[in-house]
């Protein structure tokens, strides 16, 4: 017999994109709302009085004045970097060589990979994140570990084997053919199994030869329903390095485009220092750009042009980029996105920030028909937030005259203490 649960509290959902529609039309906030879930799916969303009467036999969980929303979607992360988060003082290339590559070498050990995958999913769930897109390492064991851990939790994840055949240490290089073969075998095993989504994953152009990029482009052409994730234009010295390695390329994006790695379903992390041609091509193919604000400030990469790119109609998601990013929290990530936009002269509205962390990131992953919003038929991945989780947040929220003023302190100062409950496929944990 199917069990139905009704969650009561304040609810926030989106009817439109608040970057391109008035906030009052885009966001629907109910002071006393309800979300009905059964079999891991949202059955209904609306007013508490109406839905309470419509489901008299349901189990009721009353969260009082807490805010119920879709769970957070982290559109770009590196779960193998969990243990090295907040490592001191390096630019991107030095940071990879000093911290990332030595740690990733350990993921050929299946038991180690399983331990980190479980810890990562525990940490992200505690912060209200219900779906993430993660790079693994070159080791198939690292891919199996994350998908197996997620499958055991009935959790939707996007992941793939990171491919590198040059400019990486011994033990972290594969080959063009090996990358193709491993990735094909892994995507055939995991893509579409349960809630798993496979992403073909060249780390970035400096660590792949043209032959490897071409092999992965061929694989994507053979499996266009998969996603493709990589990095693009994160730092200026990285861009200069790419120009040296690919002297015939028109720009950084062209190193992917020339090898079949540009198109719908492509997700390009960072995308800070884009040329006019790159911006136009990304928009033309409707690829996704993923903003990683805590990483961009922590590693000193630059300031993402949210206003300009949104104005062009780019598809944009939000991400922690752990462990280059300095927090597992999408709340902290929203705060950093706000701060970077301020430095570029734009004050993002709380509705826009929250949309980026939910619907926007789900759109980047081409999963917005399944996750990222509270709506009938969506998967019941849900976070419940206490908007007065600490004394300093509570004293500011108490002065709020609107719902957005009540939410904003949690976006700026909140952390895992604000997370009352996280439900994955309807199940609390």
CATH of the domain at 59: 2.30.40.10
7 pLDDT more than 80: yes
Q: Are residues 180 and 315 located together in one domain of the fold? A: yes
Same-domain pairing of 339 and 384: no
Domain shared by 14 and 142, yes or no? no
Residue 396 has pLDDT above 70, yes or no: yes
Residue 1 has pLDDT above 60, yes or no: no
Mean pLDDT, range 105-133, rounded to an integer: 97
Give the pLDDT mean for 391-414: 97
Tell whether the model's pLDDT for residue 50 goes beyond 80. yes
Give the residue with greater pLDDT, 84 vs 252: 252
- The DSSP 8-state label assigned to residue 15 in this structure reads S
- CATH code at 260? 3.20.20.140
pLDDT at 419: 98
What burial class does residue 122 get, using C-beta atoms within 10 Å of its C-beta: 0-12 exposed, 13-18 middle, 19+ buried? middle
Share of the chain above pLDDT 90, in %: 92
For the chain, the domain total comes to 2
Q: Assess whether 274 and 423 both reside in one domain.
A: no
Provide the residue range defining the domain that includes 289: 72-364
**13 pLDDT more than 80:** yes
Average of per-residue pLDDT across 328-341 = 98
To the nearest whole percent, how much of the chain has pLDDT over 70?
A: 100
Question: For residue 253, what pLDDT band results from cuts at 50, 70 and 90?
Answer: very high
Average pLDDT, the chain: 96
Residue, of 320 and 300, whose pLDDT is higher? 320
DSSP string covering 115-138, please?
HHHHHHHHHHHHTTEEEEEEE--S
Q: pLDDT tens digit string along 91-104?
A: 777 878 888 888 99
* Residue 332 pLDDT > 90: yes
Q: Is 367 left (phi over 0), alpha (psi -120 to 50) or beta?
A: alpha
Question: pTM of the full predicted structure?
Answer: 0.97
In sequence order, which residues have a C-beta less than 8 Å from that of residue 138 and are 6 or more positions away? 104, 161, 162, 163, 164, 172, 173, 174, 179, 182
Q: For residue 241, is pLDDT > 80?
A: yes
Q: How confident is the model at residue 152 (pLDDT cuts 50, 70, 90)?
A: very high
Q: Are residues 19 and 156 in the same domain?
A: no
Confidence at residue 295, expressed as pLDDT on a 0 to 100 scale: 93
DSSP letter for 317, please: E
pLDDT, tens digit, 9 for 90 and up, residues 353-366? 999 999 999 999 99
Rounded to the nearest 10°, the torsion over CA 121, 100, 192, 131 is 40
What pLDDT, on a 0 to 100 scale, did the predictor assign at position 96? 83
Residues 132, 212: one domain?
A: yes
Same domain for 230 and 130?
yes
């Amino acid at each position: 017999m199917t069990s139905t649960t009704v969650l009561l509290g304040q609810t926030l959902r989106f009817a439109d994109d608040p970057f391109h529609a008035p906030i009052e039309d885009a966001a629907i906030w109910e002071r006393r709302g309800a979300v009905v879930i059964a079999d891991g799916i949202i059955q209904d969303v609306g007013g508490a009085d109406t839905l309470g009467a419509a489901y008299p036999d349901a189990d009721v969980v009353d969260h009082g004045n807490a805010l119920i929303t879709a769970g957070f979607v982290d559109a770009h992360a590196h779960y193998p970097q969990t243990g090295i988060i907040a490592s001191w003082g390096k630019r991107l290339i030095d940071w990879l060589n000093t911290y990332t590559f030595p740690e990733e070498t350990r993921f050929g050990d299946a038991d180690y990979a399983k331990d980190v995958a479980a810890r990562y999913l525990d940490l992200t769930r505690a912060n209200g994140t219900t779906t993430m897109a993660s790079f693994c390492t070159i080791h198939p064991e690292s891919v199996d570990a994350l998908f197996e851990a997620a499958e055991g939790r009935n959790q939707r994840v996007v992941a793939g084997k990171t491919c590198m055949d040059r400019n990486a240490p011994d033990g972290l290089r594969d080959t063009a053919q090996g990358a193709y073969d491993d990735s094909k075998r892994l995507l055939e095993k995991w893509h579409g199994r349960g809630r798993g989504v496979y992403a073909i994953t060249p780390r970035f152009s400096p660590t792949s030869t043209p032959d490897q990029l071409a092999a992965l482009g061929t694989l994507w052409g053979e499996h266009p329903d998969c996603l493709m994730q990589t990095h693009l234009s994160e730092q200026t010295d990285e861009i200069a390095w790419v120009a040296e390695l690919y002297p015939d390329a028109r720009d950084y994006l062209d190193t992917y485009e020339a090898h079949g790695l540009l198109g719908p379903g492509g997700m390009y992390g960072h995308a800070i220092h884009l040329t006019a041609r790159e911006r136009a091509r990304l928009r033309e193919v409707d690829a996704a750009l993923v903003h990683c604000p805590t990483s961009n400030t922590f590693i000193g990469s630059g300031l993402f042009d949210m206003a300009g790119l949104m104005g062009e109609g780019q598809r944009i998601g939000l991400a922690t980029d752990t462990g280059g990013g300095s927090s597992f929290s999408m709340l902290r990530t929203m705060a950093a996105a706000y701060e970077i936009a301020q430095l570029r002269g734009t004050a993002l509205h709380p509705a826009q920030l929250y949309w980026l962390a939910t619907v926007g990131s789900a759109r980047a992953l081409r999963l917005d028909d399944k996750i990222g919003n509270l709506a009938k038929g969506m998967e019941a991945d849900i976070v419940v937030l206490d908007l007065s989780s600490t004394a300093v947040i509570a004293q500011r929220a108490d002065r709020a005259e609107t719902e957005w003023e009540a939410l904003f302190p949690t976006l700026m100062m909140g952390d895992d203490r604000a997370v009352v409950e996280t439900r994955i496929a309807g199940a609390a944990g």
